[in-house]
Amino acid sequence: MLLKKCPIILLYLGGFKMAKSGGKDYFGLSWIVSLILCIIPITSLILGIITRFKEGHWVCALLRIFLGWNIIWILDIIFMILTHHIFKLF
């Protein structure tokens, strides 16, 4: 819903459409695309925050805002490579 109302985010995502949740991270994108977006620090931070807000995990989104540049970014990369999902607290 947020993506449909905010054309800047759609432009930033390169026009990717949201897919139905199929256990994939970053709006249902494939694992390899999510991995590439996860490796780039700014996209990992922005998409991680948007994803957590979309899921209704406000505390996790706030933690990503304050810790997203260092700790959670490294955890996201490790988890994406090993489990094919970004790091989730709950």
Q: Report the distance separating Cα 12 and Cα 60, nearest Å.
A: 22
- pLDDT top residue among 2 and 56: 56
pLDDT, tens only, 14-52: 433 433 444 567 777 888 898 999 899 898 889 888 988
C-alpha to C-alpha distances, 48 to 27, 85, 89, nearest whole angstrom: 10, 11, 12
**Integer-rounded Cα radius of gyration of the chain:** 12
